[in-house]
Amino acid sequence: MDPGAHDDAMKNELRILRAERGWSQGDLAGKLGVSRQTVNALETGKYDPSLPLAFKIARLFGKRIEDVFDDDGRV
């Protein structure tokens, strides 16, 4: 099993940020260099991004990682 994939994935603002820009999942996937399925899994909380991907997402939206992703206080 992929270590990033689990049932308690971080909550995130990805769908909202994407929608604010009028981007489809495919548009966002292209900008990030990932598949549309990866974007869908991130948005639905089925998958946590790698740290490099989280930074790439945050930079794309001009946000800090913690403004895009919420780990819900996990340690």
pLDDT digits (tens, 9 = 90+) for 35-64: 999 999 999 999 999 999 999 999 999 999
Given a cut of 60, is residue 75 above it in pLDDT? no
Q: What is the mean pLDDT of the chain?
A: 89
Judge whether 42 lies within some domain. yes
Task: Name residues whose C-beta falls within 8 Å of residue 61's C-beta, 6 or more positions apart in sequence.
Answer: 17, 68
Judge whether 72 lies within some domain. no
Measured between alpha carbons, how far is 37 from 29 in angstroms, rounded to an integer?
Answer: 8
Judge whether 17 lies within some domain. yes
Q: What is the pTM of this model?
A: 0.82
Q: Where in the sequence is the domain holding 55, given as residue range(s)? A: 13-64
For the domain that residue 48 is a member of, what is the CATH number? 1.10.260.40
Helix (DSSP H) and strand (DSSP E) numbers for the chain: 5, 2
> pLDDT exceeding 70 applies to what percent of the chain?
85
Pick from 17, 27, 26: nearest CA to 59:
17
Mean pLDDT of 11-18: 96
